[in-house]
């Protein structure tokens, strides 16, 4: 029976103490994913099991499946993470890296295996990028008590508009999941056209414009972004409205509707009275 790659690490997680650090770098054209797994092993047998479970060839896309009895070798037509292995006094450090395009990152194996729902969205109409997960936290921590903590770092030079990061250092936004607080979500919203010129600090008023900001897209001298060509808007999920703008003309008409309606009713009664008077005078 064919198994997903994710199932290959279950036995390992039951044997040893593990922690993980996830580093995501948002560039202007790609998303770099860099994940390190710190796995403890107290015996030679556990070390052998670790190297069998954390495969050298892990497909980058979550829908790719392999059989758990196959040898650890490449399959033609499949793209894999770049894996490096470092032996330590306590066990091993397994590192997996890959650079994804913006359109492909939602298919990431490590992203889909970690969260029940996680989404990366680039909205070309609003010129923003969003990354968010649900509030169930890291699924593996719910299933495997040997996984003690997971740290997620997102690095970006874009102007951060909103975030619920646990801590911020320079342009790195960090979320820490451990046994006491892993049921929480990740949320980050950045501008896709403006860079952060405040040393990585989130502005106290994200909606406020900086008159001296050379990257202001509303500036008539602001150049077109060669890395962000116009693309058709991505389909909007059912039940979710991404636009709350109101037509200013409709708003102005609504402003005076309370006057127009009573006047129309009054005019209607005046016409009826006038018609009755004319009819009586002819009689």
> pLDDT by residue (tens digit) across 208-225?
444 444 444 444 444 444
Q: Where are the beta strands (DSSP E) in 108-266?
A: 118-123, 128-133, 147-156, 158-163, 167-169, 172-178, 187-195
For the chain, the domain total comes to 2
Region of poorest pLDDT, from 57-66, 173-182, 211-220: 211-220
Tokens of 35: 């994940």
153 backbone dihedrals φ, ψ, rounded to 5°? -115, 125
Region of poorest pLDDT, from 5-19, 79-93, 162-176: 5-19
Residue span of the structural domain in which 156 resides: 3-245
Q: Are residues 13 and 71 in the same domain?
A: yes
Average pLDDT over residues 99-123: 93
Q: Are residues 266 and 229 in the same domain?
A: no
Rounded Cα gap, residues 144 and 17, in angstroms: 10
- Listed in sequence order, the residues at least 6 apart from 222 whose beta carbon sits closer than 8 Å to its beta carbon are 214, 215, 216
Facing residues of 86 across strands?
Answer: 93
Greater confidence (190 vs 274) lies with 190
Q: Are residues 24 and 138 in the same domain?
A: yes
136 backbone dihedrals φ, ψ, rounded to 5°? -85, -10
Q: What is the mean pLDDT of the chain?
A: 76
Q: Are residues 29 and 81 in the same domain?
A: yes
Q: Are residues 68 and 47 in the same domain?
A: yes
Rounded Cα gap, residues 74 and 71, in angstroms: 9
Rounded Cα gap, residues 154 and 130, in angstroms: 12
Q: How many CB atoms lie within 10 A of CB 53?
A: 19
Going by the DSSP 8-state scheme, the letter that residue 136 receives in this structure is: T
Residue 52's pLDDT is 77
Q: Are residues 283 and 215 in the same domain?
A: no
Q: Are residues 149 and 86 in the same domain?
A: yes
pLDDT surpassing 90 at residue 71: no
Q: Are residues 123 and 252 in the same domain?
A: no
pLDDT surpassing 80 at residue 37: yes
Q: Are residues 192 and 274 in the same domain?
A: no
Under a CB-based contact definition with an 8 Å cutoff, are residues 109 and 5 in contact? yes
Greater confidence (271 vs 50) lies with 50
């Amino acid at each position: 029976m064919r198994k997903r790659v994710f199932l290959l690490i279950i036995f390992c997680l039951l044997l040893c103490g593990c922690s993980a650090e996830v580093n995501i770098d948002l560039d202007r054209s790609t998303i770099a994913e860099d994940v390190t797994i710190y796995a403890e092993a107290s015996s030679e047998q556990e070390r052998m099991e670790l190297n069998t479970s954390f495969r050298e060839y892990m497909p980058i896309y979550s829908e790719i499946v392999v059989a758990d009895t196959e040898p650890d070798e490449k399959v033609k037509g499949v793209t894999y993470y770049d894996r490096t292995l470092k032996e330590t006094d306590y066990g091993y450090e397994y590192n997996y890296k890959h650079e994804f395009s913006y359109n492909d990152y939602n298919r990431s194996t490590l992203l889909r295996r970690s969260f029940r729902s996680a989404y990366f969205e680039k909205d070309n109409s609003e010129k923003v990028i969003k990354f968010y997960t649900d509030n169930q936290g890291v699924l593996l921590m719910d299933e495997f008590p040997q996984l003690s903590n997971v740290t997620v770092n997102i690095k970006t030079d874009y102007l951060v508009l909103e975030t619920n990061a646990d801590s911020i250092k320079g342009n790195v936004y960090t979320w820490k999941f451990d046994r006491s607080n892993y049921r929480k979500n990740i949320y980050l919203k950045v501008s896709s056209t403006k860079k952060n010129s405040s040393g990585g600090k989130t502005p106290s008023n994200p909606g406020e414009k900086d008159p001296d900001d050379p990257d202001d897209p509303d500036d008539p001298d602001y150049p077109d972004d060669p890395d962000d060509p116009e693309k058709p808007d991505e389909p909007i999920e059912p039940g979710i409205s991404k636009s709350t703008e109101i037509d200013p003309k409709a708003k102005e008409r609504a402003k005076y509707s309370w006057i127009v309606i009573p006047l129309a009713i009054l005019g209607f009664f005046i016409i009826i009275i006038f018609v009755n008077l004319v009819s009586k005078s002819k009689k």
